[in-house]
Amino acid sequence: MQFSKFIPALAATALMGAAPLASAQVKIGLTGPMSGPVALVGQDQYDGFMLAVEQLGGKLGGQVATILKEDDQLKPELGNQIVRKLIDKERVHAIVGLGFSNVVMASVKPIVESGTVAIATNSGTSPLAGAGCAANIFSTAWQNDGAPEAMGKYMQDKGIKNVYLLAPNYQAGKDMLTGFKRYFKGNIVEEVYTQVGQTDYSAEIAQVQASNPDAVFAFYPGGMGVNFVKQMSQAGLLPKLPVYSVFMVDGTTMPALREAAVGSVMGMMWDSVLNNPENNKFVKAFVVKHKRVPSEYAAAAFDAAQILDVAFKKVGAKLDDKKALAAAVKAAGAEIRSVRGPFRFNNNNMPVQNYYAFNVVKEGNQVVTRQISVALANHADAYSSKCALK
Amino acid sequence: MSLSLILSQLLNGLQFGVLLFLLAAGLTLVFGIMSFVNLAHGSLYMLGAYFAATAYNQTESFTLAVLAALAGCIVVGMALERLAVSRLYGRDHLDHVLATFGMMMFFNEAARMMWGPQPYFLPVPDMLSGTVNLLGISYPSYRFAIILVGLLVAVGAHLLMHKTRLGMLIRAGSVNPTMVGALGVNIKLLNAFLFGLGAALAGLAGVMAGPILSVQVGMGEPVLITTLVVIVIGGIGSVSGAFYASLIVGIVDTMGRAFLPTLLRDMMSREAANAAGPALASMLIYILMAVVLALRPQGLFPARRT
């Protein structure tokens, strides 16, 4: 008899025996678009979250954490399936990420019914901020209207008169332009919604040229943003025509844009150049580990991990008490030192935070982002009064 | 709605059409001659863009990037043909669809593993980064260059097909491939060459599109769908059909997207026009394809079959 034949069997038995000992005590499901044109958005959230977990020694709230990574492929029905799987089969203690606004909205029902804590790090839709708010759904990213409201106020204060608006035709696109119009009181030359995932904007750009506005305000995340900005630059519009945007010129798109982005102004609750001690540490650690600059999605996920760490510590052994965990998460919002500056959860679990204005300039032969101002300080969203939560 | 706007949109449509032609020419030849439905054609376009982006990031030379894309795509195309495609020639079209769909997913994942999920940077070459003055409007030089390259390729393709022996063999093969093989022509080599040529054209389209569209995983799919519409409208197997149809589709799509929302706003409320405009505009080319299929199913300019 050969002993070598027994080795795999012995190893398997040993592993099986070891399995219950190695089982993690905290289970988190992290979902987002991990493939396709916006894959970097999902990947940044995962990397940001894991960086925080790693810095906490692989633990959240002092307990070993298992993170399950799921790809929703930007498909609402798939997002719904994944969320139900995480809640019913995997019995996770919290779900982080939740993907783009359209995917989030498809997943709300199972999350609310189960009471599982869910933290969005990619969106903050107006229904969830208003009448549809839930005690166990949070956002550590933003309320969708926030960044465009900041840009609207910034442009209003600057005295810009005629603005051309562009966004893709889905919930977030509509939210962005609604938020912009809430604070910008000048003349809207045109409001154009393009197909989600559209790659060629030559037709729309020709229209912009013909209308001759004072400025353009656009929302095009991920690959759409790269295409739009590049094409605006090639048509000779950037930097002659100021382009104000949200989620279009950020960590996920700058490596592909470089010079093409010079002259644009962005509004966001965070950027890698934000100068505070927590952020400097975070950006440095992220760059060293992943060889790329993080985006606002990574920052949102990093903060989500910190919040969960504080919340799990609060509930201690009573991890499965979903109501207590949700309450702990809500309180934890104000207790962390966020990389974006001041942060806390509003009554509707949306962030109350600063929104800054940044611009992209050329210094020497380097393309850099600079903070211009704090466009809106400690800004709460416009829907909180419609939410019944305290 | 000024004349200069209409003119610049027409040029945009022409540019889109020409890019479609580069893809449609290869696809229609492979479909017509080897009766092979190649859904992986979009992946060859994506690979062309990736090879070019990688070469550019190493050498900072756009010319080398173009050469890298062409060479890379020819190699991948011929390898694909020898290894996978040639085994499927006699089979049902559905088998082709399954196999090439699988190849498409394979190439997408492979690209994601090799190059990562982030969009890649391929700039417009410096001498083409300005604008040209055409008939009173100022049009981006790079897009104009695309139109010129595409028209050159179209002329070259016409010369190849009608003035060379190889072209004669290709045309004969599109009408009766078995006979051509029986007459002693090395049909295997011809097929491999044809596939490689199609791949090279797809790669060229990828390189040309790279600076204006983002180079990322999955960039081939939307273009592939439009290319299939083009070859159906033009007629399977006909390169001249692909040329006219791609121009038609390019112009209809661009003009539709540009002017339909404005036209709708005259007929209905702003809210409704904002919602319906983009949706209808994106449907236009499919409606056109449906009409062509209903009235003239063999396509508008079909290859003549004996």
SS (H, E, C) chain A: CCHHHHHHHHHHHHHHHHHHHHCCCEEEEEEECCCCCCHHHHHHHHHHHHHHHHHCCCEECCEEEEEEEEECCCCHHHHHHHHHHHHHHCCCCEEEECCCHHHHHHHHHHHHHHCCEEEECCCCCHHHHCCCCCCCEEECCCCCCHHHHHHHHHHHHHCCCEEEEEEECCHHHHHHHHHHHHHCCCEEEEEEEECCCCCCCHHHHHHHHHHCCCEEEEECCHHHHHHHHHHHHHCCCCCCCCEEEECCCCCCCHHHHHHHHCCEEEEECCCCCCCCHHHHHHHHHHHHHHCCCCCHHHHHHHHHHHHHHHHHHHHCCCCCCHHHHHHHHHHHCCCCCCCCCCEEECCCCCEEEEEEEEEEEEECCEEEEEEEEEEEEEECCCCHHHCCCC
pLDDT in the model for residue A4: 60
Confidence of residue B306 (pLDDT cuts 50, 70, 90): very low
CA distance A270 to A371: 10
Chain A residues whose beta carbon lies within 8 Å of the beta carbon of residue B5: 206-207, 209-210
User: Cβ of B125 under 8 Å from any chain A Cβ?
Assistant: no
Confidence of residue B45 (pLDDT cuts 50, 70, 90): very high
Domain ranges of chain A: 22-142+275-345, 146-268+354-379
CATH number, domain at B261?
Answer: 1.10.3470
CA distance A229 to A180: 19
The rounded mean pLDDT for chain A is: 88
Average pLDDT on A232-238 reads 83
pLDDT in the model for residue A216: 95
Q: Mutual orientation of helices B141-163 and B165-175 as an angle, nearest 10°?
A: 80
- Quote the minimal CA–CA distance from A37 to chain B in Å: 6
Q: Report DSSP state, residue B210.
A: T
User: Cβ of B218 under 8 Å from any chain A Cβ?
Assistant: yes
pLDDT in the model for residue A9: 57
CA distance B123 to B49: 12
User: Cβ of A45 under 8 Å from any chain B Cβ?
Assistant: no
Report domain A22-142+275-345's class: alpha beta
pLDDT in the model for residue A7: 60
What are A247-282's pLDDT values in tens digits? 999 888 888 788 888 889 999 999 999 999 999 999
Domain count, chain B: 1
List all residues 6 or more positions away from B187 whose beta carbon is below 8 Å from its beta carbon: B173, B177, B180, B181
Residue B131: its H or E element:
strand B131-134
CA distance A384 to B23: 51
Q: CATH homologous superfamily for A146-268+354-379?
A: Response regulator (3.40.50.2300)
pLDDT in the model for residue A43: 92
Interface test with A, best of B121, B132, B143 (most A CBs within 10 A): B121
Please count the residues of chain B.
Answer: 306
- Quote the minimal CA–CA distance from B108 to chain A in Å: 9
Chain B residues whose beta carbon lies within 8 Å of the beta carbon of residue A234: 124, 129, 140, 142-143, 211-212
Average pLDDT on A148-154 reads 93
What are B55-78's pLDDT values in tens digits? 998 888 888 999 999 999 999 998
What are A321-342's pLDDT values in tens digits? 899 999 999 999 999 999 999 9
What are A3-39's pLDDT values in tens digits? 566 666 555 555 554 444 334 489 999 999 988 778 8
pLDDT in the model for residue B201: 92
Work out the burial of residue B63: count CB atoms within 10 Å of its CB; fewer than 13 is exposed, 13-18 middle, 19 or more buried: exposed
Average pLDDT on B18-32 reads 88
DSSP β-bridge partners for residue B133? B138
Q: Which of residues 240-279 of B touch A (CB under 8 A)?
A: 254-255, 257-258, 261, 270, 274-275, 277-279
pLDDT in the model for residue A23: 42
Chain B residues whose beta carbon lies within 8 Å of the beta carbon of residue A203: 9, 12, 254-255, 257-258
* Residue B276 is assigned to a structural domain of this protein: yes
Chain A residues whose beta carbon lies within 8 Å of the beta carbon of residue B277: 193
A358: left (phi over 0), alpha (psi -120 to 50) or beta: beta
* Residue B300 is assigned to a structural domain of this protein: no
* Residue B138 is assigned to a structural domain of this protein: yes
State how far Cα B128 lies from the chain centre: 22
pLDDT in the model for residue A343: 93
Average pLDDT on A36-45 reads 85
User: B111: helix, coil or strand?
Assistant: helix
Give residue B172's domain range: 3-295
A40·B117 Cβ contact <8 A? yes
Among partner residues B108, B117, B213, which is closest to A43 by beta-carbon distance? Answer: B117
ipTM over cut 0.95: no
Specify the range with the lowest mean pLDDT, choosing from A35-39, A311-315, B250-254.
A35-39
* Residue B42 is assigned to a structural domain of this protein: yes
Specify the range with the lowest mean pLDDT, choosing from A2-11, B49-58, B95-104, B182-191.
A2-11
The rounded mean pLDDT for chain B is: 86
Q: Report DSSP state, residue B121.
A: P
What are A174-186's pLDDT values in tens digits? 889 999 999 999 9
